[in-house]
Chains A and B, each alone.
Chain A
Amino acid sequence: MVPDIWDILQTKGTEYLIAIAFLVLFIPFWRFVNKTEKTK
C-alpha cells in the first residue's frame, strides 16, 4: 500500500513541530534547573 502524501507530510510536520518545541522549551528548562533558590 502506497502511503498518502498528506499522511507523510502530516507525520513529518508533527516531527518538526516536536523538534522545535524541544528547542524552544529546553532554554527555559535549562534556566529553571540551573537557578537554585536562595536559602532563607
Chain B
Amino acid sequence: MSTTTQTTSDFSAWIREKILMGRSPRNYLRSLITPFNIVAALILAVGIPVIGYRFANGLGAATNMSDTNPWGIWIGFDMLTGVALAAGGYVLAGAVYIFGLRDYHPILRPAILTGFLGYFIAVLGLITDLGQPWRLPYPVFVSFGVGSVLFLVAWHVFLYLTVQFLEFSPAICEWLGWKRVRRWVSSLTIGLTIIGITLSILHQSALGALFLLMPTKLHPLWYSQFIPIFFFVSSIVGGLTMVIIESTLSHRIFRGQLESERHVDLDDITIGLGKAASIVLFAYFFLKLLGIADGNHWNLLNTPFGYWFLVEVLGFVLLPCFLFAFGVRAKNVKLIRFTAVLTVIGLAINRLNVAVIAYNWNVTDRYSPSWMEILITVTLITTGILMFRWIVNRMPVLYTHKEFSE
C-alpha cells in the first residue's frame, strides 16, 4: 500500500516538475490565460472541428479543389513552403558538424526543432489533403510505387522526419535525465547529419521534380528542367532566413531562459547567416535566368504572367540579395532581419506560383482557396507554434543543460 502511495507521489512530482514547469495544476492553468493563448485557443476551437468536417465530408465539401485543380494551398503552402522553410535544420547541422562552423552551435538545436516541427506540420497538412490517414504508411510498408516521384517524396519525408527526431533526441534525453540513451544518440550525430543532408538534398529537389511531369500545366516561365535545382537552392535560402527569424523571436520571447547562459552574440550570428543568404540568393538569381534562357522564353516576360514573374525574381530574389549584402557590410542587423522576412514571403510566393498561381494558368476554371482551406492552414501553423513553445519551455533547446554541458 505504501509502495503504491510512494509511486503515485513520485509520478505527481514528475508531472509537476517536467510537464507543469514546477507549478501546481491550478497555478499552471492560471498561467495559461494570456492574450496569445486565448487567440490560439479560439483558432483551434474553430479549426479542429473544420478539420473533422473535411475528413467526414471529403475534399469537395471543404475545399475549392476540383479534378482540374487537384492541388490547393495545402500542397502549395503547407507542404511545399513548409518544407522549404524547415530546411534550417540540415543547413545549420551541415554548417556546424560538417564545415566546422562552431560559432553557430548555440542556434543549432532551435533550428533542428523548427525543421522537425516544420516537416511534422507539413505531414499533417498532407494527411488533411490526402484523407484516409491510415493509408499514410502504404508507400513505406505495403505498396511500393517505385516509378512515382511521390513514392520518392513519401520515403524521403518518412526517413528525414525520423532522422530529425533522432537529431533532436539528445534534448529530450536531457529533459528526461536519460544519460545513457543521451550518450548513445549523441554518438550518432555526425552520421545523422550526413544522412539528413543527403535526404534533404534529395527531398527538396524531389518536390521540384514533381513538376517535371507537368510541362503543359505549369507556365513556361516557372517550368524548367532545372526546377529540382531551383527548389533545392531556394530551400537553403529558406532555411537560413527562417533561422534568422526564429532565433530573433526566440531570443525575445524566451529571454528568461538565456539569462544564466554564457553570452551569445546573436547579432554576429545573424550577420553571418545574412552573408550566406546573400551569396546563395545571388547564385539563385542566375539560375532563374538560366531557366528562362533554357526554354528561350524571354518574350513571355512582356505578358501579365511575365510581370508577376519579374516581381518574384527582382523583388524577392535580387532585391533581398543586395539588401542582405548592404546589411552585412554595414552590420545593420535590423535590415538583415527585415530582409529575412521579405525573403520568406518571396519563397512562399514562389512555391504558391509553382503549385497554384502559375499552375493550370491556361484553363478557365481557376482555383482560389475556400475559407475552410485557409482556416485549416492557420490552425496547423498555430499548432506548430504551440508545440515549439511547449518544447522550448521544458527542454534544453535555447540553453545548455547543467548536467550535460560539454
Point out residues on A near B: beta carbons under 8 Å: 7, 10-11, 14-15, 18-19, 21-22, 26, 29-30, 32-37, 39
Contacts and interface: CB of A to CB of B under 8 A. Distances in A.
Nearest to A29: B282
23 contacts: A10-B296, A11-B294, A11-B296, A14-B296, A15-B290, A15-B294, A18-B286, A18-B289, A18-B290, A19-B286, A19-B290, A26-B283, A29-B279, A29-B282, A29-B325, A32-B325, A32-B329, A33-B275, A33-B278, A33-B328, A33-B329, A34-B275, A35-B329
B290 A37 contact: no
A35 B331 CA distance: 11
A37 B328 CA distance: 9
Interface residues of B, number: 16
B39 interface: no
B279 A11 contact: no
Interface in B287-343: 289-290, 293-294, 296, 325, 328-331
- Which of A18, A30, A39 has the largest count of B CB atoms less than 10 A from its CB? A18
Nearest to A3: B296
A5 B275 CA distance: 42
Interface string B128-168: 00000000000000000000000000000000000000000
Interface of B: 275, 278-279, 282-283, 286, 289-290, 293-294, 296, 325, 328-331
A14 B293 contact: yes
A22 B289 CA distance: 10
A33 B279 contact: yes
A18 B328 contact: no
A39 B382 CA distance: 42
Contacts of B279: 29-30, 33
A30 B279 CA distance: 7
Contacts of A21: 286
A25 B84 CA distance: 27
A24 B3 CA distance: 77
Contacts of B331: 36-37, 39
A12 B293 CA distance: 8
A40 to B, nearest CB: 11
Contacts of A11: 293-294, 296
A38 B275 CA distance: 17
Given A32-B325, A36-B329, A22 B278 contact: no
A5 to B, nearest CB: 13
Contacts of B282: 26, 29
Nearest to B325: A33
Contacts of A14: 293, 296
Contacts of A35: 329
A22 B328 contact: no
Nearest to B328: A33
Contacts of A37: 329-331
Given A18-B290, A29-B325, 5 more contacts: A11-B296, A32-B329, A33-B325, A33-B328, A33-B329
A36 B289 contact: no
A18 B293 contact: yes
A17 B293 CA distance: 10
Contacts of B290: 15, 18-19
A15 B286 CA distance: 10
Nearest to B274: A33
B287 to A, nearest CB: 9
A15 B329 contact: no
Contacts of A15: 290, 293-294
9 closest Cβ pairs, A-B complex = A22-B286, A14-B293, A11-B296, A33-B325, A15-B293, A18-B289, A37-B329, A18-B290, A37-B330
Contacts of B330: 36-37
